[in-house]
Every structure is written in structure tokens, then in C-alpha cells.
């Protein structure tokens, strides 16, 4: 599970530049690049890298910058409520360059509404009661880097997870504005981001949630995060937020909700996208589309957020450690830690979630018997008794749902 060292721009814009050569560098920030012919293949234009993650913690690790994808080292996820500057970024396309909350609208349509309706952001805020929930959002591909054979896509390690406080109207209330027909089955979202190809008619991603999830009280059409307007990178000014499901179900820059009479069929709902084999498969196996099942509730998982891995700790002193645990739509019932590679475990103190679908904090103290190299492993168990595996679980073609135990290294001297 140890990752090779990776430079900040390991993936960067390399593929993009290699594919399109100097022409691509020709349009950095809308400016021509007179010396584009000398721009080394594989280098990220520094202005672009800086532009994309402006305001973020400098410790974020960029996995790709077109589209922008950045993860957060475990020790930077220590906050109980994830602040905006320490929130991972996962874009599938290009975020809208500017958004105007004053003219923003949300359309609710689809086969399964009585009458399509378009509401302004102001109308949404006026008409519906606002609720605030802390909601954990984890990318379905978090942990992908550990699968062998390797799965294509962003090589997330552990940092594609957040748990911020979201404020907005309940999706089920908003849908009533258009009237939901009895045959409604799914709610699909559409956002204002644009396709990498530049084709304005091409939808980047349009996923969604089954009606039962849409009707849960914590599923929000949110206009605020951590008490402020939603940051640009995270879906300003309006976002669907469905905690506990893969974060791809939480549509950013929300412009339209389609109430469908079938499983939503937008881009990235079908094929292998955000799906895993319905039955276990051998590593590397080819799985036909019809044997792939949509990911819904995410599996149980935990993260040690303090101390950071690699710490040197004085011998003879107990060490405090802490972190978070979550289990999709379930509660976490127990977190244990081990300092002897899983031979024995001790229970950590586990707090209740602030609300359903928020992560839970754990803390404990461990004592090391003598100087040397140790690892601390953390293992969470959900309300149904399912625990995190020690090793990478079920291989799947796209590398989703790796919930293996988190490990940190400790040198006791």
C-alpha cells in the first residue's frame, strides 16, 4: 500500500500537451504563447497550475490539471468539518469560468414530472426551508492507485474525501415544485461545466440518484458550504449533495434536474462508469457492461489524520492519534487500531456523527513497547458488522471502492 514518491506535476498536463503539442500551449489563459515552440513537452504551464488551485492549501497534490483533479494528504484532513481549502477537487470537464448567482436558474423536468418548472436561485432560497447537514463525499475512485493490475483514471491514494457542512433546500421539497409522478424512478443532474473537447453540446457528466435517495431528508440542493457561498471549484452557486453515495452523484454547478421514469442514462451513468462487477471477478478480467452494477452506498472506511505518517515519536511516551471513519449510508459502530501489523487490536474512542451521513471522529492513545519501526493501522466496522479489509479488496475494472485499512508509519526512538 506504500505509494511511490510523486512530484506535484507527475501527471499534470503531460498527456494533453503530448497529444496536442504547441497548439495547446498556444492558448494559455487566452493569451498567445510566442515561444510555444520551445515549451518542453511534459511541463505544466505554471500559470495554469496556480490558477486552478488558487486559495487551496499548498499541500494538496495535483493529479491532473485538465481536468483539474487534486487530492488531500491524510494529515490535512484532520479538521472535523472539512474547510474549503482542504477539500479535494474532482472535475470531469472544465468548470464554468464565471457564474452569476443573480441570474442562475434551476430547471426541473423529465418524463416523471407533472409540469416542468424553472426557478431562480433567489426563488429557491425564498420558497424552501433551508437545512444544514454535514455530509461526507468520497469519490468512488478514492484508493484507485493501489489496484493491480492498475486501473486507468486518476490515481487517488486516500485523499478524495471530504465532510463539509452543506446548506440548502431538501431535494424532495424542490422536486414538488414540478410535481413528481408516481412512475418516478431516478433523478439525474446537469451542470454548467463544459466538455474537454470544447464541444458545447456535449454533456460532461450527468449522474444522479434513485428516487428513494432523492427523498431522504439529507439530500440537498445546496447553495452554501460551511456557512458561505459554495466555492467555485465545488459547484457554485448551486449543487446537488447526496452524502454517503459516491461523490459523483453530487452534481456541481447545478442547472437542471431531470426526474426520470427509468434509471437515469446521462453520460457516466452507463457502461463501466461508477459501476463495479455485480459478482466478484478475477483481477484483470474483462467484464461485460450488463454485468456491472451502479455504486450506491460507499463502503466502511477510516483515515488516521493525526499524526501524519513518518512521525518520529519519543520512546516510552504514549502517542495520541485521531481520525475519521464513515460508512456510506450506514453508521460506524467501532474503530480499532493496531501497532503490531494486525496481530492485536485496541478499540478507539468513537464519537457519534453530527448527523446521519457525516463522518465520525475517533481518537486513542497507543504505547510502543520499545524503539523501532512501527505502523499504526486503523480499521472501522459499520453498523451491519462489515469491517475494512487489511489488503486491497475486490479488483474491478475501473478501480472503485478500495476501502483497505489506512496505515501510517511511526519511528520510535
Ligand X SMILES: Nc1nc2c(c(=O)[nH]1)N[C@H]1C(S)=C(S)[C@@H](COP(=O)(O)O)O[C@H]1N2
Footprint of Mo ion (CB under 5 A) = 90, 139, 248
Interface stretch with ligand X, choices 84-92, 259-267, 321-329, 349-357 (CB under 6 A): 84-92
Distance CA 377, CA 359 (A): 18
Sort 377 into a burial class: Cβ within 10 Å, 0-12 / 13-18 / 19+.
buried
Residue with cell 480499521: 379
400 binds, among Mo ion, ligand X, none (CB under 5 to 8 A by kind): none
Q: Which is nearer to ligand X, 22 or 81 (CB)?
A: 81
Q: Decide if residue 89 touches ligand X (CB under 6 A).
A: yes
Site for ligand X in 92-111 (CB under 6 A): 92-93
Query: What are the CB-based long-range contacts (under 8 Å, 24+) for 227-232?
Result: 227/165, 227/167, 228/84, 229/101, 231/55, 231/84, 231/87, 232/95, 232/99
Q: Which of 204, 258, 269, 292 binds ligand X (CB under 6 A)?
A: 204
- Determine how β-strand 220-225 pairs with β-strand 228-229: antiparallel
Position of minimal CB gap to ligand X = 191
Pairing of strands 220-225, 239-241: antiparallel
Distance CA 200, CA 103 (A): 20
Select from 82-90, 288-296, 306-314, 352-360 the region that touches ligand X (CB under 6 A).
Answer: 82-90
Q: Which of 11, 66, 75, 90 binds ligand X (CB under 6 A)?
A: 90
Is 85 strand, coil or helix?
Answer: helix
Contact (CB, 8 A) for 233 and 95: yes
Q: Report DSSP letters for 178-210, one per residue.
A: T-B-TT--EEEEEES-B-TT--TTS-S---EEE
Q: Tell which one of 251, 266, 299, 328 touches ligand X (CB under 6 A).
A: 251
The single residue among 213, 234, 256, 301 that binds ligand X, judged by CB under 6 A, is 234
- Give yes or no for residue 191 binding ligand X (CB under 6 A): yes
CB of 410 to Mo ion, least distance (A): 31
Contacted by 158, from ligand X, Mo ion, none: CB < 5 to 8 Å by type: none
Q: Nearer to ligand X by C-beta: 253 or 377?
A: 253
247 makes contact with ligand X (CB under 6 A): yes
- Where do contacts with ligand X occur on this chain (CB under 6 A)? 87-93, 139, 162, 191, 193, 204-205, 234, 247-248, 250-253
Amino acid at each position: 500500500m506504500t505509494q511511490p514518491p510523486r512530484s506535484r506535476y507527475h501527471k499534470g498536463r503531460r498527456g494533453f500537451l503530448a497529444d496536442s503539442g504547441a497548439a495547446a500551449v498556444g492558448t494559455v489563459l487566452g493569451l498567445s504563447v510566442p515561444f510555444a515552440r520551445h515549451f518542453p513537452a511534459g511541463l505544466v504551464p505554471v500559470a495554469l497550475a496556480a490558477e486552478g488551485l488558487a486559495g487551496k492549501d499548498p499541500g494538496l497534490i495535483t493529479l491532473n490539471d485538465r481536468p483539474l483533479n487534486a487530492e488531500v494528504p491524510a494529515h490535512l484532513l484532520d479538521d472535523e468539518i472539512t474547510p474549503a481549502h482542504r477539500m479535494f477537487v474532482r472535475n470531469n470537464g472544465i468548470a464554468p469560468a464565471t457564474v452569476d448567482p443573480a441570474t442562475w436558474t434551476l430547471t426541473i423536468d423529465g418524463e416523471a414530472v407533472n409540469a416542468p418548472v424553472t426557478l431562480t436561485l433567489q426563488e429557491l432560497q425564498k420558497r424552501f426551508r433551508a437545512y444544514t447537514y454535514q455530509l461526507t463525499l468520497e469519490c468512488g475512485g478514492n484508493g484507485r492507485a493501489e489496484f493491480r493490475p492498475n486501473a486507468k483514471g486518476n490515481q487517488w491514494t486516500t485523499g478524495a474525501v471530504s465532510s463539509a457542512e452543506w446548506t440548502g433546500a431538501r431535494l424532495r421539497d424542490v422536486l414538488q415544485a414540478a410535481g413528481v409522478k408516481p412512475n418516478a424512478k431516478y433523478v439525474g443532474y446537469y451542470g454548467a461545466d463544459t466538455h474537454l473537447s470544447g464541444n458545447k453540446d456535449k454533456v460532461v457528466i450527468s449522474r444522479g440518484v434513485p428516487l428513494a435517495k432523492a427523498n431522504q431528508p439529507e439530500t440537498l440542493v445546496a447553495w452554501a458550504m460551511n456557512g458561505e457561498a459554495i466555492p467555485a471549484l465545488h459547484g457554485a452557486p448551486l449543487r446537488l449533495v447526496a452524502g454517503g453515495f459516491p461523490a459523483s452523484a453530487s452534481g456541481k454547478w447545478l442547472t437542471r434536474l431531470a426526474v426520470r421514469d427509468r434509471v437515469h442514462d446521462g453520460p457516466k451513468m452507463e457502461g463501466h462508469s461508477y459501476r463495479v462487477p455485480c459478482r466478484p471477478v478475477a483481477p484483470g478480467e474483462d467484464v461485460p457492461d450488463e454485468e456491472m452494477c451502479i455504486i450506491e452506498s460507499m463502503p466502511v472506511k477510516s483515515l488516521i489524520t493525526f499524526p501524519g505518517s513518518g512521525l518520529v515519536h519519543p520512546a516510552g511516551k504514549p502517542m495520541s492519534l485521531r481520525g475519521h471513519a464513515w460508512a456510506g449510508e450506514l453508521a460506524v459502530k467501532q474503530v480499532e487500531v493496531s501497532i503490531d501489523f494486525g496481530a492485536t487490536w485496541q478499540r478507539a474512542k468513537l464519537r457519534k456523527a453530527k448527523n446521519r451521513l457525516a463522518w465520525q471522529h475517533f481518537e486513542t492513545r497507543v504505547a510502543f513497547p520499545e524503539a523501532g519501526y512501527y505502523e499504526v493501522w486503523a480499521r472501522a466496522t459499520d453498523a451491519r458488522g462489515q469491517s475494512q479489509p487489511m489488503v486491497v479488496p475486490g479488483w474491478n475494472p475501473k478501480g472503485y471502492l478500495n476501502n483497505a485499512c489506512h496505515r501510517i508509519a511511526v519511528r520510535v526512538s
